[in-house]
Amino acid sequence: VKMKQLLEFLIQSVVNYPQEVSIEEKIQGEVVSLAIKANPEDIKVIIGRNGRTIKAIRNLLWVVAAKQGKKINLAIQE
């Protein structure tokens, strides 16, 4: 499973403007850095109430990364 594709699918599933979602991926050794760019109105949706949505997404990606022997770094760019 490619983490960028998984993240893109998850984010596009919850936002109001899925066509404006873009994910930037950088791989440095074992660390995969993913940066989310989305419509400013969707940033609140991605973060969720008390950060619950983004925490759940981070946990899913963390599990996938751990199975591949990698570490994940997730950021939201405004």
Cross-sheet strand order for the sheet of 22-28: 22-28, 31-37, 71-77
Q: Using the structure block, give the residue that is written with the tokens 């949505």.
A: 53
In tens, the pLDDT along 42-67 reads 999 999 999 999 999 999 999 999 99
User: What integer pLDDT is reported at residue 1 of this predicted model?
Assistant: 67
Residues 6+ apart with CB under 8 A from 58: 72, 74
- For the range 53-56, what are the long-range contacts, defined as Cβ-Cβ under 8 Å and sequence gap of 24 or more? 53/14
User: What integer pLDDT is reported at residue 2 of this predicted model?
Assistant: 87
User: Can you point out the beta strands (E) in the chain?
Assistant: 22-28, 31-37, 71-77
Report the predicted TM-score, pTM, of the whole model to 2 decimal places: 0.88
User: What integer pLDDT is reported at residue 78 of this predicted model?
Assistant: 77
